[in-house]
Structure 1
């Protein structure tokens, strides 16, 4: 059960809530795929305004976009984008409501921007006096952590909190790190996605399924290189390459490493948009042979193997994504598993010592 569904069963937390707004997006649905705004209105909740994060309230925007939609197509309610807005600008917009509900599906990766939007909303709410209630949802990647902990000097919109790269928190728990007293309507954190569980609605255009979301922990790092990460193809974050890459050599290099139950196939593609749009690219398609527990080593080795072929890396962006200083040796393909294992041990200690005060759900 999600926080939304729990609120629909018992809307008493909204008694005396005044004017109510909702921050949501297409993945904010019931298990019957009814949008949260529609479901809340049917339950008698008097919503007045809707707000959207990156990609827009209707999910039609690509990375870095949030098309302005003035009225919601299903409810007719006025809508406002909170993406690319400062906390003071957000405060102006949410001051129009007394209570702001947040029903957003995060994916558990630090550089995914919904946590950053939530951080800004909580800061803005202090200015506007708006009450914030997070309707929690399960983290589709579960409680395990991976990757380095973000160093404060690398804070940015793709790293708003000092978290491991794969942080193992729900959105409600992230909110409690910023505002310990924030109201969170809990979910069943272990409810799975897929058959017999919650439906997978893409939380953003390039995470079409759960397997891609799992790979995104690692292949999201390709954004910090000159390679296409598969945006503009049918296989975002599973198809990676660039003009001039030797696809056969790249696949052979990666298949010779111990990266878990994955195989790399030489692949050739032409992105319709994003990096290298309209240009023939060569690279690899990543095939996951069985459930992949850790995807970060895959991404680290992939970036390193691309660099070995002369592909340009973007040090500034990579250190924002990773949260630690850039060094070429970080991406040495043979060391990917060992390095990521060391990061994971550190992340586990950090989570227990620094993040556990925000936990809402028991960890095994």
Structure 2
């Protein structure tokens, strides 16, 4: 795994434009995208569509905004795209789901956002709400598929219903090994969409997935534009699912440094030779432990991982000054279960914890099979 690149002839869904331009011709189009919605030549999808005389009505932007510079969790306001003058509607401000009036006059919606394959990455939740809004307003949704850089890894606890949130909406593991197009098919197929008017009524989105061409999920894929400010490179994307658990603790995952999700540390861990001091930067205006020396570990040069690694989390818990202050309530939302925290507090080994995930993962793999495109 990761030892070969995508085969020759590979194209993303956005580059597979022969298959979607005819579907957009003479239509009034809405685009859900951000800075990752680019073709291989780095032309943004919006600019490409405008150049091909497609009528775009408005742009919908997810967390981090259309240009991808806002902090995690920072509210984004509506505005205008400086390049095209098109109105931008935020899906991470007053509403996370497109409203009926925001969709008026739109014949078809196009979704093109690079995912990183982790359940708590909020672009999946934006996809869910966009699908739901399209289903409620009888608008077709065209998803331009993109590779999952963690595409062959299926690992982690399955999300339990009571821990549903914007960082986890579906009963899937932390790493689910599907492209965003495949995931969209699963949202539809498993009846996870529900009408806001009648919570008991399942909805179906009129979904069209434009697939990648010559895609190999077992091969490496380097993202063309960083998907968010704190995932700057391949290493951070590979370690994200393992280190994001620290976001539910008093340990920094490197926000406020130039090695986000490649280091971890806190003032409460022992000094073993590596330290850093978080300071405000793009994507982290108020990083955890701002201006305070943190001790921990530098993982920026470790070999790529092929699973979720709990060893760093367990090590930090065992060596922190006060274990009662280690976890915060957000941890269970990220994990999708209270069990993982309880297992770590009880001193279970990584092997035993991962063994407890097996039945859920086997069940999920059977569901996943139905929706794979590659």
TM over 0.5: yes
1:246-285 map, 5 Å: 246-248=270-272, 266-272=274-280, 273-285=286-298
Aligned partner of residue 58 in structure 2, secondary structure: strand
Q: Kindly report the root-mean-square deviation, in angstroms, between the aligned alpha carbons of the 2 structures.
A: 2.5
> 2:373 matched to which residue of 1?
360
1:232-251 map, 5 Å: 232-248=256-272
Of 248, 262, 266 in structure 2, the residue corresponding to residue 224 of structure 1 is 248
**Pair 1:182-2:196 in alignment:** no
> 2:15 matched to which residue of 1?
5
Aligned partner of residue 99 in structure 2, secondary structure: helix
Shift of 1:308: 6.3
Larger RCO: 1 or 2 (CA < 8 Å, sep 6+): 2
User: Structure 2-normalised TM-score?
Assistant: 0.83
Distance (Å, rounded) in 2 between the aligned partners of 1:212 and 1:15 = 39
> 1:330 matched to which residue of 2?
344
Higher helix share: 1
Matched-pair contact (CA < 8 Å) for 2:156–2:308:
no
Distance (Å, rounded) in 2 between the aligned partners of 1:346 and 1:32 = 43
> 2:111 matched to which residue of 1?
102
Shift of 1:21: 0.9
> 2:228 matched to which residue of 1?
204
Shift of 1:317: 1.3
Deviations 1:189-208 (A, max 9, x none): 427998xx654311010000
Shift of 1:59: 0.7
Distance (Å, rounded) in 2 between the aligned partners of 1:295 and 1:308 = 25
Structure 2 residues not aligned, in runs of 5+: 1-10, 190-205, 281-285
**CA separation of 1:341 and 1:214: change in aligned 2, threshold 3 A:** farther
Matched-pair contact (CA < 8 Å) for 1:218–1:296:
yes
User: Structure 1-normalised TM-score?
Assistant: 0.85
Shift of 1:311: 6.7
Matched-pair contact (CA < 8 Å) for 1:218–1:295:
yes
Deviations 1:246-295 (A, max 9, x none): 121xxxxxxxxxxxxxxxx6223233331111222222222443222123
Shift of 1:244: 3.6
Deviations 1:68-122 (A, max 9, x none): 3511122221111111454665343233412110000010000000000111111
Matched-pair contact (CA < 8 Å) for 2:151–2:218:
no
Matched-pair contact (CA < 8 Å) for 2:157–2:360:
yes
Matched-pair contact (CA < 8 Å) for 2:275–2:295:
yes
**CA separation of 1:297 and 1:331: change in aligned 2, threshold 3 A:** farther
Distance (Å, rounded) in 1 between the aligned partners of 2:185 and 2:291 = 44
Matched-pair contact (CA < 8 Å) for 1:230–1:271:
no
> 1:80 matched to which residue of 2?
89
